[in-house]
Amino acid sequence: MTDWRAELTTYRGLVSAAWGEKTVHWRFADHRETPSTGQCGVTSAWLMVVLQDIHSEPAVYCYGDVRAVRESSNNLLDHCWLEIGASDDPDRTVIDLTCDQSAMFNGLDVLCSSHDSICTNYGMSYETSLRLSPEEFDKDEVQDRLGRLVTSLGPEHLPVMPERLKRFF
């Protein structure tokens, strides 16, 4: 697996500049503890397209809970992230550009690591309720917010615009 950390940090900076009221999930519009609160779905949606169309990386969109394996008070419920690898593979790669929503990650903004190492190093387990391939994802409710995010970023926000994002312009 490619070491994506530097590039993912750049992507986090790019996308976070476009976060706002039009991209936040409605359930979090009135109580946002961090700037990334309520932005996990739209951010993961954008990144999935970028990883697949620009980097040919087969990431899947995941929805579920991030649960503390050592403590029960710091769970991050109803969260979205990406995974690369089989759902039952402990070495599958978890990519989360909004992990700062959990205090357990000690201020880390970008996470790209194996599921097992996240459990070991941070005491957190990404538990998926729903995994969507890019094809299945096109029907997901986050598409409207993805369009608003991409429009806010502008047509020149990437050196090569993925075909799947061109439809928003």
Contacting residues for 13 by C-beta, under 8 A, at least 6 apart = none
For the question of whether the overall pTM of this predicted structure is more than 0.85, the answer is yes
Question: Once rounded to an integer, what is the mean pLDDT over residues 70-74?
Answer: 68
Q: What is the pLDDT of residues 12-31, one digit of tens each?
A: 999 999 999 999 998 887 77
142: its two tokens: 């986050």
16: tokens are 């976070």
Position 49 scores a pLDDT of 94
Q: What top-level class would CATH report for the domain 5-166? A: alpha beta
Q: How far is CA 62 from the centre of its chain?
A: 8
Question: pLDDT tens, 44-62?
Answer: 999 999 999 988 999 999 9
Element housing 112 (H / E): strand 111-114
Q: Measured between alpha carbons, how far is 33 from 130 in angstroms, rounded to an integer?
A: 25
Torsion of CA 147, 96, 63, 116, to 10 degrees: 160
Q: Among residues 9, 61, 158, which one has the least CA distance to residue 168? A: 158
pLDDT over threshold 60, residue 1: no
**What are the pLDDT digits (tens) for 114-167?**
999 999 999 999 999 999 998 888 888 899 999 999 999 999 999 889 988 999
